């Protein structure tokens, strides 16, 4: 009998301890936008505890209050009850300018490039100012609608990464979800390692992932730039010839050479894959020790057509792949590392482990362009 009493007392004690622990836990809890209440989290897990296959704008759950960020139930400025600022892009930038949204489209770290126009050699998709049908290479695309953020992204959701739409300019280009090469963003390490966000991960992207994704990404771009969707050496509907854009091979899809949002001089690279930041680093830190002025003058895009959303300055975008397609008519300057090495008037040649060959780098001492 005494044993039963002891067992019952222990059970009561355990229940009391659990209650006190729960109360203590509740007192310590601090609500956040991503975790508004105990057990109610925002992330890649849906309301049924399953992994979301359909990406939504913030992975909202059943108790969300986020609709009110963009919509006004009774006082909308459009038929879709949107709360516009001046343009749709202005509304998107109330978050995606680095103040609230995780993804800053004006910053320099986005895999899609930047909409920043304050730097030299800047170019971008001019949302809110141009017609969709004015896209370079457009033939079938005659849309008179204005290019907006929602022309390419669906804020309410998509099976594609980064909420890319599956139907653009009236064209459904794929039924297979596009996956991008996503890696966790170290700037948000605390969030990414949190156990209370239901798997929410803030990521960086470097473009489409697999072979099918690369082709479908090119198809996505070609809904507007329709004559640019072509194979190498084939005449387009406009009577021109175009570099291959619809291949799964490296260097043969739109994302290999261009940023989706835009570019500027801080993002541009040379054929060696180096940026202004790389060249202005000290020699001890692996850079060249150039002044910022020298690095900017070197990286500046001077192509007649402008930087055209390119990842690489001028036409060095070609040199990143075509380093041995055709022999040069004139001898190259002596290569650094060669027994007979010397310094060319304009370029030095250094060994690249990335390309497994010698590649040119600008000779700052000569100061010639």
Using 50, 70 and 90 to split pLDDT, how confident is the model at 25? very low
What's the half-sphere exposure (Cβ side, CA atoms, 13 Å) at 119? 24
DSSP assignment of 99-139:
TSSSS-TTSS--TTB----SSTT-EE--TTTSBGGGSTT-S
**Residue 338 above 80 pLDDT?**
no
Among residues 190, 105, 102, which one has the least CA distance to residue 152? Answer: 105
Instruction: Return the beta strands (E) in the chain as ranges.
Output: 123-124, 167-168, 171-172, 180-184, 203-208, 262-263, 347-352, 357-362
C-alpha to C-alpha distance for 33 and 44, rounded to whole angstroms: 15
More confident residue, 107 or 295: 295
| 33, containing H or E segment | none
DSSP assignment of 52-71:
PSSB-TT---TT--GGGGTB
C-alpha to C-alpha distance for 163 and 178, rounded to whole angstroms: 10
**Residue 22 above 80 pLDDT?**
no
What's the half-sphere exposure (Cβ side, CA atoms, 13 Å) at 107? 14
According to DSSP, residue 358 is labeled E
Using 50, 70 and 90 to split pLDDT, how confident is the model at 31? low
Share of the chain above pLDDT 90, in %: 34
More confident residue, 219 or 248: 219
Furthest-apart CA atoms within the chain: distance in Å? 104
Query: Which whole number is the average pLDDT over 250-259?
Result: 86
Among residues 235, 254, 233, 257, which one has the least CA distance to residue 243? Answer: 233
**Residue 39 above 90 pLDDT?**
no
C-alpha to C-alpha distance for 149 and 16, rounded to whole angstroms: 55
146 contacts 132 by C-beta, under 8 angstroms: yes
pLDDT digits (tens, 9 = 90+) for 151-195: 999 988 888 999 999 999 989 998 888 999 999 999 889 888 887
The predicted pLDDT at position 59 comes to 62
According to DSSP, residue 145 is labeled S
More confident residue, 23 or 262: 262
The predicted pLDDT at position 197 comes to 66
pLDDT digits (tens, 9 = 90+) for 213-229: 999 999 999 999 999 88
The predicted pLDDT at position 2 comes to 47
C-alpha to C-alpha distance for 168 and 132, rounded to whole angstroms: 10
Place of tokens 């479908």: 216
Which of 4-8, 91-95, 298-302, 350-354 tops mean pLDDT? Answer: 298-302
**Residue 105 above 70 pLDDT?**
yes
**Residue 344 above 50 pLDDT?**
no
According to DSSP, residue 284 is labeled G
> What are the residues whose beta carbons fall under 8 Å from the beta carbon of 35, sequence distance 6 or more?
41, 42, 196, 197
Query: Which whole number is the average pLDDT over 53-69?
Result: 75
**Residue 307 above 50 pLDDT?**
yes
**Residue 354 above 80 pLDDT?**
no
Torsions phi, psi for 332 (to 5 deg): -80, 155
More confident residue, 346 or 81: 81
The angle subtended at Cα 175 by Cα 146 and Cα 251, nearest 5°, is: 75
**Residue 327 above 60 pLDDT?**
no
Share of the chain above pLDDT 70, in %: 70
């Amino acid at each position: 009998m005494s044993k039963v009493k002891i067992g019952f007392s222990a059970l009561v004690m355990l229940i009391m301890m659990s209650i006190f622990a729960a109360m203590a836990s509740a007192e310590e809890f601090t609500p956040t936008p991503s975790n508004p209440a105990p057990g109610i989290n925002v992330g890649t897990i849906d309301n049924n505890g399953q992994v979301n296959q359909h990406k939504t704008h913030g992975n909202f759950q059943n108790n969300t209050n986020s609709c009110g960020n963009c919509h006004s139930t009774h006082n909308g400025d459009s038929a879709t009850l949107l709360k516009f600022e001046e343009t749709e892009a202005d509304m998107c930038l109330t978050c995606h300018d680095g103040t609230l949204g995780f993804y800053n489209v004006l910053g320099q770290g986005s895999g899609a490039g930047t909409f920043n126009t304050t730097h030299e050699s800047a170019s971008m998709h001019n949302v809110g100012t141009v017609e969709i049908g004015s896209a370079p290479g457009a033939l079938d695309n005659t849309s008179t609608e204005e290019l907006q953020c929602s022309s390419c992204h669906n804020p309410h959701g998509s099976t594609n990464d980064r909420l890319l739409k599956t139907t653009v300019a009236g064209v459904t280009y794929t039924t297979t979800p596009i996956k991008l090469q996503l890696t966790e963003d170290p700037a948000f390490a605390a969030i990414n390692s949190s156990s209370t966000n239901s798997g929410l991960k803030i990521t960086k992207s470097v473009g489409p992932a697999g072979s099918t994704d690369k082709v479908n990404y090119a198809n996505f771009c070609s809904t507007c730039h329709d004559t640019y969707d072509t194979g190498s050496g084939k005449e387009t509907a406009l009577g021109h010839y175009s570099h291959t854009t619809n291949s799964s091979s490296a260097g043969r899809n739109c994302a290999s050479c261009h940023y989706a949002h835009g570019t500027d001089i801080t993002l541009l690279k040379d054929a060696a894959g180096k940026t202004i930041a790389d060249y202005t680093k000290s020699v001890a830190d692996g850079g060249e020790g150039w002044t910022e002025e020298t690095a900017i003058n070197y990286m500046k895009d001077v192509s007649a057509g402008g930087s055209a959303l390119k990842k690489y300055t001028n036409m060095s975008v070609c040199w990143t792949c075509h380093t041995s397609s055709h022999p040069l008519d004139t001898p190259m300057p002596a290569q650094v590392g060669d027994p007979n090495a010397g310094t060319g008037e304009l370029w030095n040649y250094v060994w690249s482990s990335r390309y497994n060959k010698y590649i040119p780098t600008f000779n700052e001492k000569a100061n010639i362009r």
